[in-house]
């Protein structure tokens, strides 16, 4: 039914693509204004809707840059119930600042994190003193002219027809990859076929001269709210209830299934706000697990939206993830990022 609806909506996709093309050309022709800044402004983004790994990439960059200089992070704060400019505190809620900015702030406590829909307004407000700002999900924010742009593509999306919304999942066409300073193909299989890798490179190189890197997700050990680790090797006799509200939960579900005795999955839409009814349903499903060794597993992003009372009552564990650059590209990748923030590698 959904597939049929997308086919029916194809004429709207053509109109949408034409509107987005015209919008981008107006910025390229300087008929619409893009604001540049004197300090490093590094943007992470994608052309598709969600699920490319922007948050793990932001964390990768913060781990790389933080030992050299303090940079700030600016996000739209998707899913928050507030509007306007706001600095993120570790004591905030996801409703105030969004789940992803809150996750970053809690993991990188010394990093100043801000949310604002208007990135130019926010950058003018916070300044930078030359240290630099990292922007999460701002590739399409053409009112801003970044000094360096990182464009992410989900591996599987490049193996399918890349159709615009609403028939497909792309907000822009591949033509817009020409603005990227570097490109990362994310969520690659750990054994990526060399021929497929070359086909992807050739596909992208029709539109861009930016260096292309490939990355994979590296799942870390489960952790509870006290930071205590639960190794995957220790959960083979466990039953678990997996709660997700992310764009593409299948890879995580498959990863965990291979390590657990039984996995039950409750899937919500991306950035879902957990209601009292949702929490009651989760409690019921958890109680139904017939095993003494049972836990609740969720993503770091979803964890930010769970009430503290729930986390303190149930054995809730998160699965931290990290980006891993493949095929020997990490040294060059890191050096390009360091230079983007005016750091000599």
> What contacts 24+ positions apart, CB below 8 Å, involve 196-204?
196/159, 197/327, 200/155, 200/158, 200/159, 203/158, 203/174, 204/153, 204/158, 204/174, 204/177
The pLDDT of residue 161: 86
Q: Between 191 and 118, whose confidence is greater?
A: 118
The pLDDT of residue 7: 73
| Share of residues in the chain with pLDDT > 70 (%) | 98
Global pTM exceeds 0.85: yes
Q: What is the pLDDT of residues 232-281, one digit of tens each?
A: 889 999 999 999 999 889 999 999 999 999 999 999 999 999 999 999 99
Q: HSE on the CB side for 116, CA within 13 Å?
A: 18
Q: What is the pLDDT of residues 138-182, one digit of tens each?
A: 999 999 999 999 999 999 999 988 888 888 889 999 999 999 999
Alpha-carbon distance of 63 to 104, in angstroms, equals: 11
pLDDT confidence band for 1 (50 / 70 / 90): low
The pLDDT of residue 112: 96
**Sign of the C-alpha dihedral, residues 30, 35, 40, 43?**
negative
Q: What is the pLDDT of residues 220-231, one digit of tens each?
A: 999 998 889 999
Three-state secondary structure call for residue 42: strand
Q: Residue 5: pLDDT above 70?
A: no
Instruction: Give the chain's mean pLDDT.
Output: 94
Q: Residue 4: pLDDT above 90?
A: no
Q: Residue 129: pLDDT above 90?
A: no
Q: Between 267 and 11, whose confidence is greater?
A: 267
Q: What is the mean pLDDT of residues 57-73?
A: 96
| Share of residues in the chain with pLDDT > 90 (%) | 86
Domain 24-218+323-340, CATH: 3.40.50.300
The pLDDT of residue 64: 98
The pLDDT of residue 26: 97
User: DSSP assignment, residue 204?
Assistant: H
pLDDT confidence band for 311 (50 / 70 / 90): very high
Q: Residue 99: pLDDT above 70?
A: yes
The pLDDT of residue 227: 87
Q: Residue 102: pLDDT above 80?
A: yes
pLDDT confidence band for 282 (50 / 70 / 90): very high
| Separation in Å, CA 46 to CA 24, 90, 276, 285, 301 | 15, 27, 33, 36, 19
Alpha-carbon distance of 219 to 76, in angstroms, equals: 26
Continuous H helices in the chain: 2-8, 10-28, 54-65, 94-97, 99-107, 119-126, 194-205, 250-257, 276-287, 300-303, 308-313, 330-340
- List the single range of 106-120, 160-174, 280-294 with lowest mean pLDDT: 160-174
């Amino acid at each position: 039914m959904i597939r049929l609806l997308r086919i029916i909506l194809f004429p709207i996709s053509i109109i949408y693509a034409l509107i987005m093309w015209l919008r981008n050309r107006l910025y390229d022709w300087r008929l619409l204004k893009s604001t540049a800044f004197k300090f490093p402004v590094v943007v992470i983004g994608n052309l598709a809707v969600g699920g490319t790994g922007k948050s793990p990439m932001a964390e990768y960059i913060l781990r790389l840059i933080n030992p050299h200089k303090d940079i700030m992070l600016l996000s739209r704060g998707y899913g928050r119930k507030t509007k306007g400019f706001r600095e993120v505190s570790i004591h905030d809620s996801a409703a105030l600042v969004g789940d992803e900015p809150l996750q970053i702030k809690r993991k990188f406590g010394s990093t100043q994190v801000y949310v604002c829909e208007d990135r130019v307004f926010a950058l003018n407000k916070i300044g930078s003193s030359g240290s630099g700002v990292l922007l999460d999900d701002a590739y399409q924010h053409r009112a801003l002219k970044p000094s360096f742009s990182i464009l992410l593509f989900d591996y599987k999306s490049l193996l399918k027809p890349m159709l615009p919304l609403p028939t497909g999942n792309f907000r822009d066409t591949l033509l817009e990859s020409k603005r990227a300073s570097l490109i990362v193909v994310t969520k690659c299989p750990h054994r990526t076929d060399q021929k497929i890798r070359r086909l992807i490179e050739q596909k992208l190189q029709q539109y861009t001269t930016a260096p292309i890197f490939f990355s994979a997700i590296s799942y870390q050990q489960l952790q509870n709210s006290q930071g205590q680790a639960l190794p995957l090797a220790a959960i083979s006799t466990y039953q678990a209830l997996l709660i997700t509200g992310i764009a593409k939960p299948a890879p995580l579900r498959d990863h965990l299934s291979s390590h657990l005795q039984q996995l039950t999955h409750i899937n919500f839409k991306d950035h879902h706000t957990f209601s009292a009814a949702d929490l009651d349903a989760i409690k019921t499903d958890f109680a139904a697990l017939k095993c003494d060794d049972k836990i609740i597993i969720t993503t770091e992003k979803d964890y930010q939206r769970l009430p503290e009372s729930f986390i303190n009552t149930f054995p809730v564990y998160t699965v931290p993830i990290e980006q891993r650059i493949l095929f020997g590209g990490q040294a060059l990748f890191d050096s390009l990022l360091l230079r983007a923030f005016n750091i000599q590698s």
